[in-house]
Amino acid sequence: METSQLIAIDTHTHLEVSCRNPFDSYGEDDRAADKYFRSSRRPTMDETIAYYREKRIGFVNFTVDAETQMGRRRIPNEEIAEAAQKNADIMIAFASIDPHKGKLGAREARKLIDEFGVKGFKFHPTVQGFEPQDRMAWPLYEVIAEYALPAVFHSGHSGIGSGMRCGGGLRLQNSNPMLLEDVAIAFPDMQIVVAHPSWPWQDEALSLAMHKPNIWIDLSGWSPKYFPPQLVQYANTLLRDRILFGSDFPLITPDRWLTDFAEAGFKPEVQPGILKGNAMRLLGLTGAATVDEPAPQESA
């Protein structure tokens, strides 16, 4: 990735449609999600790449493999990985593997890393139907930790299932960030990204990140003008070196996110780290700048 040419790195973007396989609709789930998010935009991979290249924003892209829980065919990880290989100046591929696939999923993870250059992994405990600390997922984590790659975990509320009868049977409790504590302890070489403001567990996420140095927080999924004040406070001080820009594209565009970010109370001196420097360190990109430690008198 040509970081010197980029104004930011968006660490959280989704591919919602495959260019290889027909769209496999959730049916009622899709309609409920479109209503909740007030959007049915599903740009293709080519459209996403063109958008980010025009904006001079690097991006991490992934899908969510939830075949067991949702009964929906996934978008191939290889499709994203091959697009990243062809557009390495602007794009990085993460993979998603349903933890229910156990050792077979771990074999797939190793192949995606070795043969396709995947640089990290994405999990969504609510949609995938598992608790992060469940030993079922250990074979996958072991591979990720072996390669010292990051893993992104959805946290907090989920728009998927919202408003449906019984919430579509999806469990919000699976995405409580404190369920990541056992994972952070067992796999200290795996960098864990807690995705989104973790409402209604924002304080839990901040405490976890303060206590475990392999825990990061991305700011995706919400406009910055709605961030809880304690999230902004810790991003400005004690967690300034482990907070990441993420949009949740296509649900939120970087244009909207960056405009609101500029007015959300983030200190000018921490903004470069949040927008690019911290992601460069997490992803092992060359030229990554370090972020100064907060002054001793500062407190969160």
For residue 44, the model assigns a pLDDT of: 93
Q: Report the alpha-carbon distance of residue 252 to residue 249 in Å, rounded.
A: 5
For residues 180 and 153, the answer to whether their CB atoms sit within 8 Å is yes
Return the pLDDT at 235: 98
Q: Look at 167 and 274; give whichever has higher pLDDT.
A: 274
**How does pLDDT run across 84-142, given as a tens digit for each residue?**
999 999 999 999 999 999 999 999 999 999 999 999 999 999 999 999 999 999 999 99
Q: CA nearest 43: which of 51, 33, 35?
A: 51
pLDDT over 70 (residue 294): no
**3-283 under CATH 3.40.50.300, yes or no:** no
pLDDT of residue 28: 57
| Mean predicted confidence (pLDDT) in 1-14 | 94
pTM as predicted: 0.90
Cis peptide bond prior to 250, omega within 30° of 0: yes
Please report the pLDDT score of residue 19 as a whole number. 74
Taking a C-beta distance cutoff of 8 angstroms, is the pair 16, 298 a contact?
no
pLDDT at 10: 98
> What gap in Å lies between CA 77 and CA 107, rounded to an integer?
14
What is the structure's pLDDT at 29?
A: 57
**What's the CA gap between 85 and 98, in Å, rounded?**
23
**Sorting pLDDT into bands at 50, 70 and 90, what band is 40?**
low
Question: In 93-119, which positions are buried (b, 16+ CB within 10 angstroms) versus exposed (e)?
Answer: bbbbbbbbbeeebbebbbebbeebebb
Asked whether residue 212 carries a pLDDT value surpassing 90, the answer given is yes
Task: Could you list the beta-strand ranges (E) of 75-207.
Answer: 91-93, 121-123, 151-154, 192-195
Share of the chain above pLDDT 70, in %: 89
Q: What is the pLDDT of residues 230-265, one digit of tens each?
A: 999 999 999 999 999 999 999 999 999 999 999 999
Lowest-confidence pick of 178-192, 198-212, 246-260, 274-288: 274-288
Query: Which residues have CB under 8 Å from 6's CB, separation 6+?
Result: 56, 57, 58, 90, 276
10 Å CB burial of residue 165 (0-12, 13-18, 19+) is exposed
pLDDT at residue 168, as a whole number: 86
Give tens-digit pLDDT for 10-33. Answer: 999 999 887 776 565 555 555 544
Q: What is the mean pLDDT of the chain?
A: 90
**Domain range list for the chain:** 3-283
Please determine, for residue 42, whether its predicted confidence score (pLDDT) is greater than 90. no
What's the pLDDT at 181? 98
pLDDT of residue 38: 60
pLDDT at 289: 44
